[in-house]
């Protein structure tokens, strides 16, 4: 009897052991077959500037077949990306509703690829459409379909602009503005300025074609002239300033900014309140200027941890400059004050303290006299 009990106990133990070592079963979402079969009206396009308003390419696709009989709607979105550089050169998905076709004009397509490749260089581009079955019954994995095509763009914006500044003594000085983001049409230059009149040309050797003042004194609007009279802008400021010219149609203006420049050219978030930790050398926490129109806005998007602290490093050692919180434990989501950078020895180690966990974009505005922060939740 005792032997029988021992054998039974051993059997139960073996069954339990095997059960504990079985691979866990996870829920998986089934991939949907490509029923859309997206197609492109062109396989190889050379864009021409004289045909900016003309249709360049049209994409069409079939309707998604829903795996369930009852649903609310089927909607679509499309995006483009450079086939060989998907991680860095892409558009966001463009919602299309129930529409199953999308056309890009020559100007639209050229504006997209201009930031990815130099004018005149053929580029392989992938168009990807996603179809979503909207319903309240079950989650259905969106269906994807893609097609490749080759496109060659034209030069919409000159690679550089040249500011021509004439001071009170009549001396003219020429400086070159470049594009922070290739093909963006937004030009920038930081230089020492004195009171002067100024305008912009597309050549260092000639005054024309030119971007000049379109309005009354104080108006920032540009006008483009190929010849004839030039109406100049006027500057009354002295010192280091950053000039930004936006040649895009929806802005077409210029501005002069007084920007606080980080002493080593970078800003890095550090501390246990973010995923970077106390690493002063990693590239993970580096802030960037994402919009060339606003070179005074620096941002970093990443994971933040509630109840923990952060500060902004402007160097690679603890004795370097930092942006510190306006007060100990300040919540960056509420308190947007930003004081001038300093060293820890000049006022203490004052850090921000997070009140929420999640993914946020932490931004700083570096306009002199208007220093501030923002802290916004993001996906």
How many whole angstroms separate alpha carbon 29 and alpha carbon 133? 14
The percent of residues above 90 in pLDDT, for the chain, comes to 87
Task: pLDDT band for 33, please (50, 70, 90 cuts).
Answer: confident
Structure tokens at 86: 């998907």
- Cβ pair 81, 115 in contact under 8 A: no
How many whole angstroms separate alpha carbon 214 and alpha carbon 199? 11
Structure tokens at 118: 């130099």
Matching residue, tokens 């900014």: 257
DSSP code of residue 32: P
Kindly write down the DSSP assignment for every residue of 150-184, as one continuous string.
EEE----S-SEEEEEEEETTS-EEEEEEEESSTTS
Instruction: Give me the domains of the chain, ranges plus CATH numbers.
Output: 39-152 (2.60.40.10), 160-257 (2.60.40.3620), 268-377 (2.60.40)
What confidence score (pLDDT) does residue 34 get? Answer: 87
pLDDT at 312 over 80: yes
pLDDT in tens, 206-252: 999 999 999 887 889 999 999 999 999 999 999 999 999 999 989 99
Q: For residue 281, which phi and psi values (nearest 5 degrees)?
A: -120, -15
pLDDT in tens, 86-135: 999 999 999 999 999 999 999 999 999 999 999 999 999 999 999 999 99
How many whole angstroms separate alpha carbon 160 and alpha carbon 188? 9
- In 3D space, the residue among 256, 262, 281, 267 whose CA is nearest the CA of residue 362 turns out to be 267
What confidence score (pLDDT) does residue 218 get? Answer: 82
Mean pLDDT estimate for the chain: 92
DSSP code of residue 341: P
């Amino acid at each position: 009897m005792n032997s029988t009990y021992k054998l039974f106990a051993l059997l139960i133990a073996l069954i339990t052991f095997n059960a504990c070592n079985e691979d866990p079963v996870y829920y998986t979402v089934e991939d949907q077959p490509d029923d859309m079969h997206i197609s492109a009206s062109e396989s190889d396009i050379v864009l021409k500037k004289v045909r900016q308003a003309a249709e360049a390419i049209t994409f069409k696709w079939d309707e998604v077949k829903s795996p369930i009989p009852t649903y609310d709607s089927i909607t679509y979105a499309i995006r483009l990306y450079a086939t060989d550089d998907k991680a860095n050169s892409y558009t966001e998905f463009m919602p299309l509703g129930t529409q199953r076709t999308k056309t890009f004009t020559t100007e639209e397509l050229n504006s997209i690829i201009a930031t990815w490749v130099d004018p005149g260089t053929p580029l392989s581009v992938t168009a990807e459409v996603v179809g979503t079955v909207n319903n309240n019954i079950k989650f259905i994995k969106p269906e994807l379909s893609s097609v490749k095509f080759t496109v060659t763009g034209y030069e919409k914006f000159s690679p550089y602009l040249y500011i021509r500044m004439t001071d009170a003594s009549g001396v003219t000085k020429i400086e070159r503005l470049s594009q922070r983001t290739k093909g963006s049409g937004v030009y920038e230059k930081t230089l020492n300025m004195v009171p002067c009149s100024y305008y912009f040309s597309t050549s260092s050797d000639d005054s024309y074609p030119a971007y000049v003042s379109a309005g009354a004194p104080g108006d920032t609007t540009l006008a483009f002239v190929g010849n004839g009279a030039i109406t100049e802008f006027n500057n009354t400021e002295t010192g280091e300033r950053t000039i930004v010219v936006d040649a895009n149609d929806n802005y077409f203006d210029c501005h002069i900014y007084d920007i606080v420049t980080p002493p080593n050219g970078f800003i890095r978030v550090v501390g246990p309140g973010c995923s970077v930790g106390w690493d002063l050398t990693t590239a993970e926490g580096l802030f960037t200027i994402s919009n060339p129109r606003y070179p005074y806005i620096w941002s970093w998007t990443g994971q933040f941890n509630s109840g923990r602290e952060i500060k902004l490093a402007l160097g690679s050692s603890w004795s370097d400059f930092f942006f510190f919180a306006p007060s100990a434990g300040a919540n960056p989501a509420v308190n947007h004050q930003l004081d001038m950078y300093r060293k820890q020895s000049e006022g203490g180690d004052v850090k921000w303290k997070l009140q929420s966990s999640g993914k946020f974009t932490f931004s700083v505005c570096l306009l002199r006299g208007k220093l501030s922060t923002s802290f916004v939740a993001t996906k």
